Structure 1
Amino acid sequence: MKTKVLMVCLGNICRSPLAEGILTSKVDPAKVFVDSAGTAGYHVGNPPDERSIAVAKKYGLDISHQKCRRFSEIDFEAFDYIYAMDASNFSNIIKLARSKEQERKVKLLLDEVDVGLNEVPDPYYGGEDGFEKVFQMVDIACEAIAKKLM
């Protein structure tokens, strides 16, 4: 049985697609399934932000095939681990939980590592360097998660 991990940000176009691509590259796909979603439905059906695609490509990852989707209550049943990129999205996810068991599945991504921050900043309104910084933070966290899942 595969372990299922869901990465969640606001629009599912910047941070969570990067997290999905990065973690997928670090685990055995026969044992771990990784997906991503957003708490808002602004970009449903669209590919990730071009800047996320570009920074992923810089590190040999292709996330261009991903399609944005909205987080749903069904995700609590479908996934073993749900990682939120920041406190606001964490709160939005927890509000949809119907049990303590579902709440326990939800964590902040950066709680897995010590990078001096507890939230992955949203790079959407910034420049290219913001996407690079987000990639580096998410990469460190995904490395720790991959080791836990092995």
Structure 2
Amino acid sequence: MADVVLAERAAAAGLDVEVVSSGTGGWHVGDPMDRRAAALLTAHGYDASRHEARRFDGGWFDECDLVLAMDRQNLADVLDAAGPDRRTVLDGERVRLFRDFDPRAEGADREVPDPYYGGDDGFVAVLAMIERTADRIVGLLAELLGRPEAR
């Protein structure tokens, strides 16, 4: 969901950025997103049809300026993919938790909960979290790219 929301919000702000999404495990590679997530995104005006699951590749660090992990386990897995020589350079610099940018995140509450095993209400809560965080990220990117009017 974060991939779709962030990409669409960045495009709407006129930012020339590429957003890619992946998991740290390979069990869903090639699959579309969860049907509940896709239905919710569609109901909120997003295009969820372009998403296809893939697995994170440590080689992407050469192509990505920022890698955002949804929870601490994903963060650790992504940093492990960087290897020991690059891990300390990337941690907190180019690899962050997505909710590090959430204006409502407090204290250690920085993880996006996985709604997969719960009910529809979990997807609704996660979408709201993603939308406000994506807005903040887009605002920061606009500033970094010299597009303050996109805030």
**TM-score, scaled to structure 1:** 0.83
Change in 2 beyond 3 A, CA 1:30/1:137: closer
Report which of the two has the higher share of strand: 1
1:21 aligns with 2:4: yes
Offset, 1:30: 5.8
The one of 42, 64, 76 equivalent to 2:27 is: 42
CA shift, 1:27, in A, is 1.1
Deviations 1:62-93 (A, max 9, x none): 11221100001111111101000001100111
What residue is the counterpart of 1:8 in the other structure?
none
Structure 2 length as normaliser, TM-score?
A: 0.83
Residue 132 of structure 1 pairs with residue 124 of structure 2: yes
2:54 is equivalent to residue 54 of structure 1: no
For 2:34 and 2:79, locate their aligned partners in 1 and report how far apart those are by CA, in whole Å.
Answer: 26
| CA–CA distance in structure 1, aligned partners of residues 27 and 49 of structure 2 | 18
5+ residue gaps, structure 2, are: 143-151
Show CA shifts across 1:35-78 (max 9, x none). Answer: 10000000100100001101111110011221100001111111
Give the Cα separation in 1 of the matches to 2:115 and 2:97.
Answer: 17
> Which one-letter code corresponds to 1:105 in the other structure?
R
Aligned alpha-carbon RMSD (Å): 1.4
**d(CA) in 2 for partners of 1:54 and 1:71?**
25
Alignment coverage as a number of residue pairs: 133
Larger fraction in helix: 2
Contact 1:115–1:137 (CA under 8 A) maintained in structure 2:
no
The offset of 1:105, in angstroms, is 1.1
Q: 1:30 to 1:143 in 2, by over 3 A?
A: closer
Amino acid at match of 2:59: I
Structure 2 residue aligned with 1:115: 105
